[in-house]
């Protein structure tokens, strides 16, 4: 049962990251009207760096696909970890109203990392 719940959460989280990554290329999601000014300025600053948003979008899509597939889930969690750290810090500093959904993503990624901890040990051990 625990593995089924984790699989469903990973699939949904992976799809959310794939969607966010695709939006960085296709720009199909509208900007919310109530988005804080600080968040808009941050997004515009990121957009000025021409390579940054496509890179983040590609990492989000790749990580989302890896997270959604059970065999590659451990790698997907590690790929998404720096992106998720950026999302968390951005929401803490610019838009705290988005923290509940980010907390869910953090919990899912933390669960995947904890569940696959033995797979990471060869990387950090001698």
Quote the CA–CA distance of 26 and 29 in Å, as a whole number.
Answer: 9
Quote the CA–CA distance of 33 and 45 in Å, as a whole number.
Answer: 19
The model's pTM is 0.90
Can you give the pLDDT of all 126 residues of the chain as single tens digits? 999 999 999 999 999 999 999 999 999 999 888 888 888 888 888 889 989 999 999 999 999 999 999 999 999 999 999 999 999 998 898 888 889 999 999 999 999 999 999 999 998 887
């Amino acid at each position: 049962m625990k593995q089924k719940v984790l699989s469903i959460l990973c699939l949904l989280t992976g799809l959310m990251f794939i969607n966010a990554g695709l939006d960085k290329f296709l720009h199909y999601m509208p900007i919310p009207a109530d988005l804080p000014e600080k968040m808009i300025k941050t997004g515009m600053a990121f957009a000025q760096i021409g390579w940054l948003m496509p890179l983040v979008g590609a990492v989000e899509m790749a990580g989302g696909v890896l997270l959604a597939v059970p065999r590659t889930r451990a790698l997907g969690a590690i790929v998404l970890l720096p992106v998720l750290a950026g999302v968390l810090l951005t929401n803490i500093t610019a838009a705290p109203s988005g923290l509940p959904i980010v907390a869910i993503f953090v919990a899912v990624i933390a669960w995947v990392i904890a569940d696959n901890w033995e797979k990471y040990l060869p990387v950090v051990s001698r």
